Structure 1
Amino acid sequence: MLQLPQLAWKRLTVCSLYLPPNSRVSKLSLAELFGQLPKPFLVLGDFNSHSPAWGDSRRDGRGRMLEEFTAENYLIILNSGEQTFVYSAYHSTSAIDLAVASPSIAAECSWAAHSDLCGSDHFPIFLTLSSHCNGNTNTTFNFKKANWNRFGDLCKLFLDDSLADIEHFTSKLLDAARSSIPFHKGTKNKTRVPWFNQECRQALRERKKAQRKYFKTPSFENFVNFKKQKAKAKFVIKNSKKQSWKTYVSSLNSNTSSKTVWKKIRKIKGKNVAPSCHFKKDGQIISNLKDHADHLAETF
Structure 2
Amino acid sequence: MTGHRTFSGYCKGKTRVTRKPEEEQLNLGRAKLAHDVGWHDSVSQGVDLMVVSEPNVKICSKEGWILDKKKDVAVRVCNRNLEVAEVKPKKGYIRLVLPDLHVYAVYISPNVSFTYFKRTLDEIFECVEQNPEKSIIMGDINAKSQTWGSPIIDERREYVDEWLSQLGWVAANNGDHTFERGSSKTHIDVTLTSESVFRRIRDWTVQHSNPYTYHGNIGIDIKTARGSRTEPQPIRKILRADHFRLALQDYNWEDTTDIYRALLNLFNASIIEENGASNKWPYWWNENIDDQRKKYNRLRRIYSRLREKDTTQVTNLKEEMRVLRRNLRKSIRRSKREHWKTLLDELDDDIWGEGYRIATRHLAAGKLSYQLPTKKRRRIIKELFPTTTESLGSAQRIRDDPEPFTEQELLQAVASMKIRKAPGPDGLTVEALKIASQTGILAQSLGKTTASIVKIGEIFPTGFILHVTPPLDVMSVIFPRPCIEIESKTPTAEDIIPENVEMSGDLEVLGKG
- Same-fold call, TM cutoff 0.5: yes
2:279 and 2:209 map into 1 onto residues whose CA distance is 17
DSSP 3-state at the match of 1:105: helix
| Mapped contact 1:214–1:226 kept (Cα < 8 A) | no
Amino acid at match of 2:127: Q
Q: What residue in structure 2 maps to residue 279 of structure 1?
A: 427
| Mapped contact 1:54–1:79 kept (Cα < 8 A) | yes
| Mapped contact 2:138–2:190 kept (Cα < 8 A) | yes
Pick closer, same or farther for the CA change 1:34–1:293 going to 2, 3 Å.
Answer: farther
| Mapped contact 2:177–2:186 kept (Cα < 8 A) | yes
Q: What residue in structure 2 maps to residue 175 of structure 1?
A: none
1:27 and 1:100 map into 2 onto residues whose CA distance is 16
Q: What residue in structure 2 maps to residue 16 of structure 1?
A: 105
Deviation at 1:66, TM superposition (A): 2.3
Do structure 1's residue 94 and structure 2's residue 186 form an aligned pair?
yes
Deviation at 1:245, TM superposition (A): 1.8
DSSP 3-state at the match of 2:347: coil
Q: What residue in structure 2 maps to residue 124 of structure 1?
A: 217
Q: What residue in structure 2 maps to residue 3 of structure 1?
A: 17
Pick from 121, 124, 128 the counterpart of residue 30 of structure 1.
121
Q: Which runs of 5+ in 1 are unaligned?
A: 145-181, 295-300
DSSP 3-state at the match of 1:236: helix
DSSP 3-state at the match of 1:93: strand
Pick closer, same or farther for the CA change 1:256–1:211 going to 2, 3 Å.
Answer: same
| Mapped contact 2:347–2:353 kept (Cα < 8 A) | no
| Mapped contact 1:51–1:58 kept (Cα < 8 A) | yes
2:327 and 2:143 map into 1 onto residues whose CA distance is 32
Q: Normalising to structure 1: TM-score of the pair? A: 0.65
Pick closer, same or farther for the CA change 1:117–1:284 going to 2, 3 Å.
Answer: closer
The structure with the greater share of residues assigned to strand is 2
TM-superposition CA deviations, 1:74-102 (whole Å, max 9, x none): 122111222211123xx222211011223
Pick closer, same or farther for the CA change 1:287–1:201 going to 2, 3 Å.
Answer: farther
| Mapped contact 2:110–2:142 kept (Cα < 8 A) | yes
Q: What residue in structure 1 maps to residue 305 of structure 2?
A: 216
2:286 and 2:188 map into 1 onto residues whose CA distance is 34
Do structure 1's residue 113 and structure 2's residue 200 form an aligned pair?
no
DSSP 3-state at the match of 1:53: helix
2:475 and 2:427 map into 1 onto residues whose CA distance is 7
What root-mean-square deviation, in Å, do the aligned CA atoms of Structure 1 and Structure 2 show? 3.9
| Mapped contact 1:138–1:184 kept (Cα < 8 A) | no
TM-superposition CA deviations, 1:234-275 (whole Å, max 9, x none): 222122122222222212126421677427998xxxx9xx96
Amino acid at match of 1:102: S
| Mapped contact 2:106–2:139 kept (Cα < 8 A) | yes
Q: What residue in structure 1 maps to residue 357 of structure 2?
A: 262
Pick closer, same or farther for the CA change 1:264–1:81 going to 2, 3 Å.
Answer: farther
Could you list the structure 1 runs, at least 4 aligned residues long, displaced by more than 4 angstroms after superposition. 4-7, 26-29, 140-144, 182-185, 263-266, 274-278, 283-288, 291-294
Moved more, 63-72 or 232-241: 63-72
Amino acid at match of 1:42: I
Do structure 1's residue 235 and structure 2's residue 235 form an aligned pair?
no
Deviation at 1:292, TM superposition (A): 11
Q: What residue in structure 2 maps to residue 171 of structure 1?
A: none
Tell me the percent identity. Answer: 19
DSSP 3-state at the match of 1:229: helix
Q: What residue in structure 2 maps to residue 60 of structure 1?
A: 154
Q: Normalising to structure 2: TM-score of the pair? A: 0.40
2:422 and 2:148 map into 1 onto residues whose CA distance is 43
1:230 and 1:117 map into 2 onto residues whose CA distance is 10
Pick from 288, 294, 297 the counterpart of residue 205 of structure 1.
294
2:332 and 2:321 map into 1 onto residues whose CA distance is 17
Amino acid at match of 1:215: S
The structure with the greater share of residues assigned to helix is 1
